[in-house]
Amino acid sequence: MLAILFSLKISDDDKNELKTNYPKQKFIFCENMDEAKEYINEAEVIVTYGNDLNKTLVEQATRLSWVCVLSAGVDELPFEALEKKDIVVTNVRGIHKVPMAEYAISMLMQVYRSEKILMEKEQNHEWYRSSKPLEISGKTMLIAGTGAIGQEVARLAKAFRMKTIGVSRSGRDLEYFDENVTTDKMKSRLPEADFIVSVLPSTKETKRFYTYDFFEMMKDSAVFLNMGRGDVVESDVIIKAVKEKEIMHAVLDVFEEEPLPENHPLWSLENVTITPHISGISPNYLPRALEILRKNLDTYTKGRSDFINKIDTFRGY
């Protein structure tokens, strides 16, 4: 009997559905890894959010052959230990595409429609008509990271008749992008972009990817939005770029340090919008994640290897 260990909380309805659909498997439901580690030697499959699994636990899990991460981010996994034991790793990338694409469009619109200052004036009961709203329609958007999320952002951008430029390692053509370029060609396209949307993952290649010269090449009217990973750009670089007016505004949902300390200088910058890593939050998150789990569980129990969202443990994504 296959033992499937959960280190995260799911509803009783979801538990019952899994047990009903897979009666031959043994499910061990725990709400966190402190509870789950008691059963680590028994588990052949671990279902986790990824940030609670360390090298020691992987070494202790003598039967482990598959780690199912119910999030897109896998950068905190002990990849060296997983690769050494040839353990399959999957994630649920793609399920965030709807809420994150909606977040991107909504944040760009709030910048262009001066919504921060309008809400401030509303709180003060001021009839304020001196803002200078702009239109996002017909602008140019550059999207760094052309996976499921980037493609959905581009699809929504097309509703506003935007020109869309995709940036990826391969530069391959994809739907909803007018142009696609390789990462090393990104800088040359920055001067034409009104919006730069970053959904880059955290890898060895992307850490501190956006150096200050990237922002120097952007329009001084550009909006930079990061909802991928916080370590792709240093906070000091963002602060300097905004203060030196290299860009008009920065929208940040992810940071090098989370939660962002309450005394961090980013909080006090007028032309920075900060949200607490919530761009992917949706009431549909867990149902979508569990659907991928079920499909991959079918694959696993049938002895196949064609998993959805299989991670390259050497590359880390």
User: Would you name the residues annotated as active-site residues?
Assistant: 277
Burial of 134 by CB count in 10 Å (0-12 exposed, 13-18 middle, 19+ buried)? middle
Q: Which long-range contacts (CB under 8 A, 24 or more apart) does 7-15 make?
A: 7/32, 7/33, 7/35, 7/36, 7/46, 7/47, 7/48, 7/49, 7/52, 7/53, 8/32, 8/47, 8/48, 8/49, 8/70, 10/286, 10/290, 11/286, 14/286, 14/290
Two tokens at 79? Answer: 């990849």
Rounded Cα distance, 74 and 146, in Å: 18
Rounded Cα distance, 49 and 3, in Å: 18
Q: Which residue has the tokens 């053509």?
A: 173
Of the candidates 226, 259, 271, which has an alpha carbon nearest to the alpha carbon of residue 103?
Answer: 226
